[in-house]
Structure 1
Amino acid sequence: MSHWAKKEERGSYWGIVFILRAYKYGGHWLMRLVLAPVILYFFLTGGDARRASLSYLQRLHQFSGPASPFARAPNWRNSLRHFWQFGLASLAKTDAWIGRIQRTDVQNCGNTLFQDLEQRSEGGILIGSHLGNLEVARAIASSNYSKRMNVLVFTEHAQAFNRALQELNPSVAIDIIQVTSIDMALAIRLRERVDQGEFVVIVGDRVSVTDASQSVQHDFLGAPAPFAIGPWVLASVLECPVYLLFCLRRTEDAGFDLHLDLLTTQLKLPRRERQQAIQEVLSRYVAKLEMLCQRYPYQWFNFYSFWQQHDKDL
């Protein structure tokens, strides 16, 4: 089985530009008309992604028991809806960065507010996931607060989307750092930025592009799954506050729920007890993921075999 990063990125820079321009000049309705056949095409031709979607939905249903968000076992219709929500999430990213989503559209649900971060002299690390829409959170924060957010990305696809977004709106300022691995040189660079009051944003639900062995197994939705240790090791090296960050679309209206939670004021990973310490902090991260998956079941956007990537396959 291929590592997730070896999967061919479906789509291109100019394809993204075309879709975003259709949105700019035609608005939501034209964008949805353009998006619908594109999503259907990827659903019909993307067998691996379709099976991964259904596997996730069925695992969530079984794990949740009586609290399942589904009335019955999910089928291909649920999977198609999952794909469609992914398309809408891309639309929401654009909405956020061109100012069509305002701060009043976002409800704070965590134990920390962005204005709390603004008032701190020290920066920190924000650990999110492919659950929900981090871009909406970053756009709202960037347009309302002065603290700089440095986003670590591991694929060229993210870079292509942001280049296309800047074609649409040249005033968009997006601080992207494309990396293949987290090494000491990167950690030193980021430590300087955090000391200056900036923040680092990274996702915690994908294993390393270049060294997938740098992961640990942890139960997620009832079965072992690999989680990267890189974000947690980086957090310990930065010696700064660690926050969890999730931004999810509400089903009842067009707004978003922002979950920004202080996890710890400083993450320490003693050499002799490092694995145990990582498992402890990872258990809190995974518990949050599971709770939010149950509440927002169609907003988990890892369209690959998340649970089946054992060490021998990575």
Structure 2
Amino acid sequence: MSHWAQMEERGIIWGMQALLKVYLLFGRKVLQFFLYPVVSYYWLVNGKGRRASRQYLRRVSTFMPESKIDTGLLGSYRHFIGFANAIIDKLAAWSGAISLQDVDYHGREAIQRHIQQGEGVLILGSHLGNLEVGRVIAYLGNKVTVNVLVHTKHAEKFNKLLNRYAEAGSMNLIQVTEINAATAMLLQDKIEAGELVVIAADRTPINAGSRVAPARFLGKTALFPQGPFILAALLKCPVYTLFCLKRGGRYGIYFDPFSDGLSFPRKQRETMIRRCVQDYAERLQHYCLKEPLQWFNFYDFWTDEND
């Protein structure tokens, strides 16, 4: 199984740079005209991505037959188009074109209370929907810094590109390949300063020696990282999940409490971590089934074991 970090993420950077320039000069309607050639090319040359997309669509279809989701090549192409539209939403979010009036919040009050009390929060994100739209939380009430952990240099490069055009805000990108003691200490300082730390919890670590845990996801076993949950225990802070879905032209941001503070006693450590991973996988599944074409993990996600 190819690791997601080995995929040709840099292959879309040139296309996204061009799309960003078109978006800033001419707006979304004109950009849509250029969107399909770029996506079509990327879909044609990315055979692994196509196969992974269809694998995922088949899992959704098997798990939820009533969805009647297309599992063929056309369904995969639509999946890629959904990803491209999410990229446009990313551009809009970072350039300030998406305002608070475009967003419906669910569970925001709890996050605001933590911010007002000067209490930092760890937020478990994912590759479902558009996490970047959630950056508007940096402009709510008290000024709060949002620290986002990114795992590849290509992602950081792209986000730096977008950040040139962003409004003056408090978004801090931290590029990490693994969470070590130095990273944990840095993030502890962020939490103690009352800031938000966001980490995706649906991708296995880049470092092959890092720990993963199996969990049932859409009816089959998949591997999830243990790192975000171990980090939560180290930071000793409230933990929430964050999902941002686009429905009917509007964005819905869902904050759900995950834990008041995780703790893993030594004798029960492995069992409790696995339970946390499974709880997260079930929550991801719940939101994934609301908008299946908005989960953008174009690599072989499930294990090959017979279960």
**When the two structures are superposed, what TM-score results if normalisation uses the length of structure 1?**
0.91
For residue 287 of structure 1, report the CA deviation from its aligned partner: 1.2
- Distance across 1 between alignment mates of 2:166 and 2:119: 31
Task: For 2:82 and 2:12, locate their aligned partners in 1 and report how far apart those are by CA, in whole Å.
Answer: 20
Matched with 1:257 is: 252
Match of 1:263, SS state, is strand
Identify the match of residue 289 of structure 2 among 294, 304, 310.
Answer: 294
Mark the runs of 5 or more structure 2 residues left unpaired by the alignment.
none
Matched residues in 1 for 2:167 and 2:137: separation?
18
Change (3 A) 1:111 1:61: farther
**How far apart, in 2, do the equivalents of 1:130 and 1:69 lie?**
20
Shift of residue 7, structure 1, vs aligned partner: 2.0
Q: Paired residue for 1:162? A: 159
Residue in 2 that maps onto 1:268: 263
* Counterpart residue number, 2:244: 247
Matched, 1:133 2:155: no
Q: Which residue of 2 aligns with 1:117?
A: 114
- Cα distance between partner residues in 1 of 2:19 and 2:170: 20
Worse-matched range after superposition: 30-39 or 12-21? 12-21
Q: Distance in 2 between matches of 1:299 and 1:305?
A: 17
State the distance in 1 between where 2:243 and 2:131 align: 6
Q: Which residue of 1 aligns with 2:198?
A: 201
Paired residues, number: 304
Q: Are positions 1:69 and 2:67 aligned together?
A: yes
Structure 1: any 5+ residue segments left out of the alignment? none
Distance change >3 Å, CA 169–CA 112, structure 1 → 2: closer
C-alpha contact (below 8 Å) 1:131/1:299 kept by paired residues: yes
Off by >6 Å, runs of 4+ in structure 1: none
**CA distances 1:41-100 after superposition (whole Å, capped 9, x unpaired):** 1111111100100110110111124xx322x65221111111001001011011112222
The aligned residue for residue 18 of structure 2 is: 18
For 1:90, give the aligned amino acid: I
Percent identity between the aligned chains?
Answer: 39
Q: Give me the CA root mean square deviation.
A: 1.9
Which residue of 2 is the match for residue 52 of structure 1? Answer: 52
Aligned 8 A contact 1:226 1:307 in 2: yes
SS at match of 2:127: coil
| Counterpart-to-counterpart distance in 1, 2:236 and 2:88 | 36
User: What's the CA shift for 1:112?
Assistant: 4.8
Determine the C-alpha separation between the residues in 2 that align with 1:198 and 1:169.
20
Q: By how many angstroms is 1:15 displaced? A: 4.2
